[in-house]
Structure 1
Amino acid sequence: MRDRSSSTTTVPTPGAGRRTARRWGATLAGILLALTASVTAAPTAVADGPGTAGEAERVGRAGAAGKAGKAGKGGHPGGRDLPPVVFVHGFTGDPSNWATAMDSFEAAGWDRDRLFALRYDWSASNRESARDLADLVAEVRRTTGARRVAVVNHSMGGLVTQWYVKKLGGHRHVGHVVSLAGAHHGTTRAADCLPLVPCAEMIPGSPFLRALARGDETPGATRYGTWYSPCDGVIVPHDSTRLRGALNRELPCVDHIAFLTDPGVMAEIQRFVRRG
């Protein structure tokens, strides 16, 4: 980090900006390649740019994804008794990242029309994305008639969720928060994608994270659970995901992207959400 106590100004050398842009482009390409290669069970590819904010999508087995509409009648006995689930992707992600998870939740008894994935602009501030999440939760509650929803997030989606729950009153409408490798206290790897705003927000000790850390980390009657692993490789340190007052589960060895598809992880978080 730059020493802000010094009055020395570094004059950039010619072409430094272009080199930084090239390095960022290469970093982003690598992240996207990792996402596409790792989520092989997802029927649609990961988007190569920021999505349109505020949309919800249902990702089907055949790869069809459309804007969420009014919920219809369920197909599982008791499926209507389970809370609607809103999935929140991470940096560079999109709703298709959750295809395997949605299939797993459906197989576990959830009705497909009660599973929603937020699409938001991952290049924007997490504050803005949290407002998109607030809008979607309000719509899901209206269309399903549910009083509370469950939110399942991954990576930077943890910051989107946490800002919504803590700063926008979301704890009143969310019964369960599941954070998979969430960046709740930042990651040193965020320096790789500077100067994008959400990356600056993920730097440990950033103004955004300091504001988020003030007060109770797990407010309200919402039940919070975090899952994280020393094999993550993207969230550094890996226990940045932990929240005070949450069920915090350190898993032996799950890499960052595998949290989206790992059958054991899916089974654990489904049990957590079912507990009511």
Structure 2
Amino acid sequence: MMMSRRTILLGAAALPLAATALVSKAVAQTGTGTITSPSDIPPILFVHGNGDHAALWMTQLWRMESNGMARDRLMAINFTDPLSRSDDGVEQPNRSSTTQQRRELGEAIAELKRRTGAARVALVANSRGGYAVRNYIRNGGAADVSHAVLCGVPNHGVYAWSDNPGSEFNGNGPFLRELNGGEGQEVTDGTAFLTLRGDGTDKYAQPDGRFAGKPGTSTGITSDGPALRGATNLVLGTLDHREVGFHPRAFREIYKFIAGREPARIAVEAEPAVRLGGLVTGMAGGVPTNRPVAGATVEIFCVAPETGERIGGAVHRATTGPDGRWGTAQVEPTWPLEIVLAAPGAPITHFYRSPFPRSSDVVHLRPGRALGPADAGVGAVVMMSRPRGYFGLPRDIVALDGKEPADIKAGVPTDSLATVRLPAAEIGRPVVALCNEERLVARAWPAAENRVTLAEFTL
């Protein structure tokens, strides 16, 4: 496709590091010459992608708060059934259509407007979430939305083929043909649009069909697929499909576009007291959902950073009711945590997390995968997960238990989960998970007790 003349290539050298606060004026002029403050920024609703949940936006919510935005002016949606249908027009259990997602998004927009009294809100979406955003705006919602930021959204499809026309990810299908119809601009007047994409590092914007199940077949899509005519289109260097929404570099562009000025800081500013809460969800028919799970128990422990051993008893213990909520837990912003989830019909999952520097009510807990034939006879199953990005080799420093994981493929970043299996003699020992500058120390729990370990990165 032809790129907009407003496409700008942003390489790594032009952007700040994750842990470095950007030095800028806290109050600056916007493009219209108006002096703004955090209260002048429209409320922001964050929209997750296919199979995901609101918690992926936690770090960007923290960065917005660290730049002075009030917590009640920020919101992240949990779509009830986040996974798409194989054919958008054919009902599938526990999956959603584009129409259902548009309706749920509209309800969330109305709630944020009601809560804040604002006439319009800004929307920030990753991947499939951008379809709901564009669908809502195009079908009468432009008056509600001041800004739309689309991060890694496959706006022209993951592929453009004649087969499987009902898939919403088919650029030749009716859904995307309608969204992108016409010879003029591909955005809706009255709303400002920004797209963010990687430079050949998005697995859903590839010319070869290997990530769509047809290696060697042209997809008809290039790395420019997420760009839109009429939008401001930015390329964020080697960031992958998820990082273009959740990385500190992405935050800078999201904030600048909505606020009209540089953020005062990129790094998250810690709070003196941290309160955590969230939702327990699970699988239904083999499909991830965001439907609440009742009767799940959640325990939280402070652990030693170098060994993963518990320090004292549980600092929080709760059993979920019909709403699936498990909070509120109070922790210190310097504590590494072990969160133990025991949900009906699922393995007991021991999550190991870096310290939470700020409060959050979107700490999503979904049990780790069920033990299968590959785990038969092993002592412990230890996994590490990167929800806000993929492990890219050789781009990233990645190690699990002192080794580069064999189940992470090199090249275009595609994998967000790695697994190591330990013999029975090694149950209980510490296992180090490393991704770039984030280091987690987990403990190996016995698989024979239907327990799994999941080291979950924040960055």
Q: Gaps (5+ residues) in structure 1? A: 1-76
Aligned equivalent of 2:132: 160
Aligned equivalent of 2:396: none
Q: How far off its partner does 1:217 sit?
A: 2.1
Counterpart secondary structure, 1:239: coil
Identity of aligned residues (%): 34
Which of residues 105, 108, 121 in structure 1 aligns to 2:64? 105
Aligned equivalent of 1:38: none
Counterpart secondary structure, 2:77: strand
Counterpart secondary structure, 1:233: coil
Contact kept in structure 2, 1:151 and 1:177, CA below 8 Å: yes
Q: Do structure 1's residue 96 and structure 2's residue 81 form an aligned pair?
A: no
**1:106-125 alignment, distance < 5 Å:** 106-120=65-79, 121-122=81-82, 123-125=95-97
Contact kept in structure 2, 1:172 and 1:220, CA below 8 Å: no
Aligned equivalent of 1:226: 195
Structure number with greater Rg is: 2
Aligned equivalent of 1:255: 240
**1:14-53 alignment, distance < 5 Å:** none
Which of residues 175, 179, 186 in structure 2 aligns to 1:217? 186
Which of residues 119, 129, 154 in structure 2 aligns to 1:183? 154
With over 3 angstroms needed to count, the CA separation of the structure-2 counterparts of 1:90 and 1:235, relative to structure 1, is farther
Give the ranges of 4+ consecutive aligned residues of structure 1 lying more than 6 Å apart after TM superposition. none
Contact kept in structure 2, 1:166 and 1:217, CA below 8 Å: no
C-alpha separation in 2, matches of 1:260 and 1:251: 10
C-alpha separation in 1, matches of 2:78 and 2:223: 26
Instruction: Considering Cα pairs closer than 8 Å and 6+ residues apart, tell me whether 1 or 2 has the greater RCO.
Output: 1
C-alpha separation in 1, matches of 2:145 and 2:246: 23
Aligned equivalent of 1:4: none
C-alpha separation in 1, matches of 2:186 and 2:195: 12
Contact kept in structure 2, 1:134 and 1:164, CA below 8 Å: yes
C-alpha separation in 2, matches of 1:170 and 1:183: 21
With over 3 angstroms needed to count, the CA separation of the structure-2 counterparts of 1:189 and 1:219, relative to structure 1, is closer
C-alpha separation in 2, matches of 1:218 and 1:166: 8
Aligned equivalent of 2:107: 135
Aligned residue type for 1:234: Y
**Could you report, residue by residue, the CA deviation over 1:204-255 in whole angstroms, capped at 9, with x for unpaired residues?**
2111111222255221221100010121123333322111110001122101
**Could you report, residue by residue, the CA deviation over 1:87-125 in whole angstroms, capped at 9, with x for unpaired residues?**
110001100111111111111221111111111122311
Counterpart secondary structure, 2:230: coil
Which of residues 118, 122, 129 in structure 2 aligns to 1:150? 122
C-alpha separation in 2, matches of 1:179 and 1:245: 13
**Could you report, residue by residue, the CA deviation over 1:119-151 in whole angstroms, capped at 9, with x for unpaired residues?**
112231122101111111112111101111000
Aligned equivalent of 2:141: 170
C-alpha separation in 2, matches of 1:154 and 1:135: 19
Aligned residue type for 2:44: V
Tell me the TM-score normalised to structure 1 length.
0.65
Aligned residue type for 2:204: V
C-alpha separation in 1, matches of 2:118 and 2:237: 35
Contact kept in structure 2, 1:100 and 1:260, CA below 8 Å: no
> Which 10-residue stretch deviates more, 85-94 or 138-147?
138-147
C-alpha separation in 1, matches of 2:179 and 2:235: 23
Aligned residue type for 2:190: A
Contact kept in structure 2, 1:178 and 1:226, CA below 8 Å: yes
Contact kept in structure 1, 2:201 and 2:239, CA below 8 Å: yes
C-alpha RMSD over aligned residues: 2.5
Q: Which structure is higher in strand share?
A: 2
C-alpha separation in 1, matches of 2:129 and 2:142: 16
Q: How far off its partner does 1:78 sit?
A: 4.1
C-alpha separation in 2, matches of 1:272 and 1:188: 29
Q: Which structure is higher in helix share?
A: 1
Aligned residue type for 1:127: T
C-alpha separation in 2, matches of 1:189 and 1:256: 19
Q: Gaps (5+ residues) in structure 2? A: 1-35, 83-94, 207-221, 262-459
**Could you report, residue by residue, the CA deviation over 1:34-79 in whole angstroms, capped at 9, with x for unpaired residues?**
xxxxxxxxxxxxxxxxxxxxxxxxxxxxxxxxxxxxxxxxxxx943
C-alpha separation in 2, matches of 1:110 and 1:189: 40
